[in-house]
Amino acid sequence: MTNIYQKYLRPSLRVAALVMLFVGPLAGIASAIADGNSKSTNGAGFVLYVSLMRG
């Protein structure tokens, strides 16, 4: 029974980590666009936003 959980738990956690890795920055950009205050953004989020807007 434990082997069944381990068989599906590790890949599920990896998929969840990858989803958070890619969806998190997109959600940050979407909230920055929806907020409309691009001047108040700073730090790494702003650098990511600018680099994604260029490319």
Question: For the chain, how big is the Rg over CA atoms in Å?
Answer: 17
d(C-alpha 49, C-alpha 1), whole Å? 45
d(C-alpha 14, C-alpha 46), whole Å? 27
Hey, how many other C-beta atoms are within 10 angstroms of the C-beta on 23? 11
- Residue range 1-55, pLDDT digits in tens: 577 777 888 899 999 999 888 888 888 778 777 766 555 556 777 777 777 877 5
> For position 38, what pLDDT does the model report?
53
As for how many domains the chain has, the answer is 1
- Residue range 27-36, pLDDT digits in tens: 877 877 776 6
> Residue 19 is part of which domain span?
2-54
